[in-house]
Amino acid sequence: MKITSIYFLFFILLSMFSCQVEGVDKKKEVELDEKQDLPSVPSSSKNKTLQPISTKDIEKFKNGLKIKWFKRGEGPFLQKEDVVAINFQVLLLNGELVDGNELLRKPYLPFLVGYGMQTKGWDLAFTHLKVGDFVEIYLPAALARGKHGVKGLIPPNSPNILRVKILKKMEPTHVDSGVKVWLLEENTSEKLLASEKTEVTFHYIVGTPTNPRYDISYRRNTPYRLRFSDFGIVKGLKKALINAKRSDKLWVVVPAEMAYGSKGLLDLVKPNEPVFYDIFVENVTKI
């Protein structure tokens, strides 16, 4: 079955080119650096809603991150495990557009804070943002795609410019025993729901805050087949898949106590660490 979620595939492609970035001193993260302003970046984008405007509202940090506010939102700052709808562009310093929801003709895309869905600079910057913010973020190469870049797209050692509007916070569709599930795409025409009497076939990306995307089923071109009677399956994952349907797309955050607990999993999941699943359900069949 073909995946209908084209923006999902786009994130897959970018994630496969993810690179290691230099460590960031958390103490320095909140210290301001007034030495250098953000560069002026032209835009070849057709997305007029993200065109920058004149402002002097800028914060600069010792790790090289710089945030320029065109509009400030209200309410609390974003936190880890918040899912927000964003309208965004990623540009090179010459104005070339290399990423953004407009490339996929989507009004917005979801973003989960704190789980390495993009580069380290994204997660660092988003914890300084609120719903309603419209900002331009300078990501130094070390907090973007680093010395490797992305072949054919982002040159090595290239800073990135991220222009983003935080449109809204997306609350979980349901929460069960601390397991948070966001149903991002639903097959409303399908009647067969996943249950203990079914087998669920799905593709996934799984990771943690410290080890994003440590396993990706797409790389093997083989979906996972799960029966709810199977042993050794993360309890929270089973809870998340109950009532799922063919072609549903789910984001799931499983707390440590419903995942690998205080023992963790080898060198993949640290003790007491939550786990994130990005799931596309290929099929649900009766057994």
Q: What residue ranges define each of the domains in the chain, with the CATH number in brackets?
A: 6-169 (3.10.50.40), 174-286 (3.10.50.40)
Residue 181 in this model has a pLDDT that exceeds 50: yes
Is the pTM higher than 0.95? The answer reads no
Q: What integer best gives the mean pLDDT of the chain? A: 87
Tokens at 11, concatenated: 């994130």
- Of the two residues 274 and 17, the one the predictor is more confident about is 274
Dump pLDDT digits (tens) for 244-263.
999 999 999 999 999 999 99
* pLDDT the model gives residue 28: 35
The DSSP-derived string for 73-133 is --SSPP-TT-EEEEEEEEE-TT--EEEEGGGGT-S-EEEETTS-SS-HHHHHHHTT--TT-
| CA-to-CA separations, 237 to 116, 204, 241, 242, 278, in angstroms, rounded | 20, 11, 6, 9, 11
Please tell me the number of Cα atoms within 13 Å of 83 on its side-chain side. Answer: 18
Tokens at 155, concatenated: 């040159």
* pLDDT the model gives residue 8: 47
Tokens at 39, concatenated: 């560069």
* pLDDT the model gives residue 120: 94
Identify the CA nearest to 89 among candidates 120, 156, 44: 44
Are 85 and 51 in contact by the 8 Å Cβ rule? The answer is no
* pLDDT the model gives residue 286: 97
* pLDDT the model gives residue 53: 86
How far is residue 40 CA from its own chain's centroid? 27
Q: Lowest mean pLDDT: which of 15-24, 57-66, 177-186?
A: 15-24
Residue 283 in this model has a pLDDT that exceeds 60: yes
The arithmetic mean of pLDDT across residues 112-134, rounded, is 97
How far is residue 160 CA from its own chain's centroid? 17
Cα separation, 29 vs 233, whole angstroms: 38
* pLDDT the model gives residue 256: 98
The arithmetic mean of pLDDT across residues 106-129, rounded, is 96
Cα separation, 107 vs 139, whole angstroms: 24
* pLDDT the model gives residue 15: 46
The arithmetic mean of pLDDT across residues 230-245, rounded, is 96
